[in-house]
């Protein structure tokens, strides 16, 4: 364990403990600070801190950070669709079927393996996990845009934008059913499913607030093409929210109907727009990704039907 100890300064008095940790400790984001608090690794004045704790001037804060997992990730010469790249970050267009980072069941052939090869190992390495450069994730069977950090300063700056929900993220999806109105939204808490812990669900308590806005792009018999704008970024947020209102994402084997559309080989969901403030220049940048072939082929199919 790496031990950090500090006293709360006057300028941080009244702030939540997770923000105070992120401000005081190098290479710690607010989301990682929250994980440390949940694990009981943060003390305030000798007592385990709650995530909702607001500190006072002079409070003594002690934090223990586990060392990174000693897991070797081998760089792989896997082709990447790079939309933008500079000295501190790159934006990648991830294909459907590619896992973002190594995990049990997917130890190799991931986006991280490809990034390590492309960037010659020059990626950020924060949060105590072996997920070099990864600021945010999208599911294996979701395609589209991801921003990747090459150094820790860029990683922290981008992570803060995600934490305050200032990132622009617009997805394209096809869902079951029709909509009377052209625009709408879904909001509520998302947490672990009370029975199936591998799934997420809209819950009444012990979840995180999530907001999803949608706009009808086109209507078909039995399906609707939507653009979906995320205010928050919870695990499986779009898939869970759309299923909760009776419009699951086409091809979704987890949250969709029992008879899944196998020709899609996963959910019909594409991260098509990504915008953020560049960590170095301070300028807003926005990127677009065209609909991939699997998506356009499905649109043509349901249009004929």
pLDDT 10s digit of each residue in the chain, 305 long? 778 999 998 989 999 999 999 888 866 778 888 989 999 999 999 999 998 999 999 999 999 987 655 557 889 999 999 999 999 999 999 999 999 988 767 778 999 999 999 999 888 877 555 578 899 999 999 999 999 999 999 999 999 999 899 999 999 999 999 999 999 999 999 998 888 878 999 999 888 999 999 999 999 999 999 999 999 999 999 999 999 999 999 999 999 999 999 899 999 999 999 999 999 999 999 999 999 999 999 999 999 98
Residue 28's pLDDT is 77
Residue 11's pLDDT is 84
Which of 59, 81, 108, 139 is catalytic? The answer is: 139
Calpha distance 220→146 (Å, rounded): 30
Residue 24's pLDDT is 85
Residues 6+ apart with CB under 8 A from 263: 251, 298
What residue ranges define each of the domains in the chain, with the CATH number in brackets? Answer: 2-65 (3.10.290.10), 69-164 (3.30.2350.10), 169-271+294-304 (3.30.2350.10)
Residue 104's pLDDT is 65
Residue 180's pLDDT is 96
Residue 139 annotated among the catalytic residues of the structure: yes
Q: Residue 194: left if φ>0, alpha if ψ -120 to 50, beta else—which one?
A: alpha
């Amino acid at each position: 364990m790496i031990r950090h100890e500090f006293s709360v300064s006057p300028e941080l008095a009244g702030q939540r403990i997770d923000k105070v940790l992120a401000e005081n400790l190098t290479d710690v984001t607010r989301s990682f600070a929250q994980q440390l608090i949940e694990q009981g690794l943060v003390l305030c004045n000798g007592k385990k801190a709650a995530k909702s704790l607001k500190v006072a001037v002079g409070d003594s804060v002690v934090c223990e950070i586990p060392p990174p997992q000693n897991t070797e990730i081998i760089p792989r010469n896997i082709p990447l669709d790079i939309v933008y790249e500079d000295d501190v970050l790159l934006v990648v267009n991830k294909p459907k079927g590619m896992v973002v980072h190594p995990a049990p069941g997917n130890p190799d052939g991931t986006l991280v393996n490809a990034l390590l090869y492309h960037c010659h190992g020059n990626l950020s390495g924060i949060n105590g996990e072996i997920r070099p450069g990864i600021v945010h994730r999208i599911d294996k069977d979701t395609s589209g845009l991801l921003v990747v950090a090459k150094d820790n300063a860029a990683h922290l700056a981008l992570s803060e934008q995600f934490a305050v929900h200032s990132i622009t993220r617009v997805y394209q999806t096809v869902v079951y059913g029709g909509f009377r109105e052209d625009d709408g939204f879904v909001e509520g808490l998302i947490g672990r499913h009370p029975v199936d812990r591998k799934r997420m669900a809209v819950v009444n308590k012990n979840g995180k607030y999530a907001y999803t806005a949608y706009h009808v792009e086109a209507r078909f018999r039995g399906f609707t093409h939507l653009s979906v704008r995320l205010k928050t970024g919870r695990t499986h947020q779009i898939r869970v929210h759309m299923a909760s209102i009776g419009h699951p994402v086409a091809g979704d084997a987890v949250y969709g109907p029992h008879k899944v559309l196998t020709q899609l080989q996963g959910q019909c969901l594409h991260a098509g727009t990504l915008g953020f403030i560049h960590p170095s220049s301070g300028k807003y940048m926005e990127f677009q990704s065209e609909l991939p072939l699997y998506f356009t082929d499905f649109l043509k199919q349901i249009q004929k039907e």
